[in-house]
Amino acid sequence: MRSAGYNQTDPYSGYHLRFPLKTRVPMTGFFILAGIIAYAYLSHYVSYSLMKTRILKEKHWELNVCCGKTDGGGVNADIFEHKELPNFRLIDDIYNLPFLNKEFKTVLCSHTIEHVDDPAAFLKELRRIGKDVTVVIPPLYDITAALNIFEHKWIFLTFKKKHTTLPPHFRLPFSTLAHTMIGQINNA
């Protein structure tokens, strides 16, 4: 027996009868939300885990400043000792690093410059102590990192991860409010 409006030759005929709008809309929203969550997770995994690891291993870094839990192969320096690392140096002030001018040939600063109060002054200090300075920044496609108002102060307008100069950037909206209310969260 055929239902009204159903045509056996057209597979989409009667679709609205079998799956009414009130069933289709929530499911569409679910799949859109699931897609956004999957994209956010995968883009962050690729950016933070895979690409950061590749950059870290591409050469011997004489100085890995603000190293967190990573070993750059040379001197590892940070404002806090997150875990025991070889050649670790504790630093007090990132704008006045305890190293000589051009002491290091290669300097890596990974996922730090978006946290600091003055990115330009910090990069200037890195260039004072290093000849070849590489800064690793969360790219815009990594939306969970680029838009993280709880950890970051700055958003950098770039799709690249690795930089030798500062890309255009601006203060991340609402980050000052979030940091004032709950403090700045820093996870190494």
Percent of the chain with pLDDT over 70: 85
Non-local CB neighbours of 99 within 8 Å, separated by 6+ positions? 63, 129
Residue 83 burial by Cβ neighbours in a 10 Å radius (0-12, 13-18, 19+): exposed
pLDDT (0 to 100) of residue 136? 95
Q: Among residues 88, 127, 76, 132, which one has the least CA distance to residue 106?
A: 132
- Asked whether residue 96 is assigned to any structural domain, the reply reads yes
Domain count, the chain: 1
Residue 188 lies in a domain: no
Q: What is the pTM of this model?
A: 0.79
Beta partners for residue 169, in sequence order? 156
Domain housing 48: 16-182
**Is residue 2 situated within a structural domain?**
no
pLDDT at 164: 96
- Helix H or strand E encompassing 34: helix 21-44
In a domain, 7, yes or no: no
Closest by CA position to 144, among listed 69, 45, 55? 45
Closest CA to 40 of 138, 172, 110, 116: 138
Please check whether residue 89 lies inside any domain of the structure: yes
Tell me whether residue 38 is in a domain: yes
**What residue has token string 């001018």?**
101
DSSP string, 60-106: -EEEEET-TT---EEEEEESS--S--TTEEE-S-TTS-SS-TT-EEE
Tens of pLDDT, residues 92-105:
999 999 999 999 99
The CATH number covering residue 126 comes to 3.40.50
Which two three-digit tokens encode residue 72? 């750059």
- Residue burial 128-148, b: 16+ Cβ < 10 Å; e: rest: ebbeebbbbbbbbebbbbbbb
For residue 8, is it within any domain?
Answer: no
Examine residue 4 and state whether it is found in any structural domain, yes or no: no
Q: Is residue 66 over pLDDT 60?
A: yes
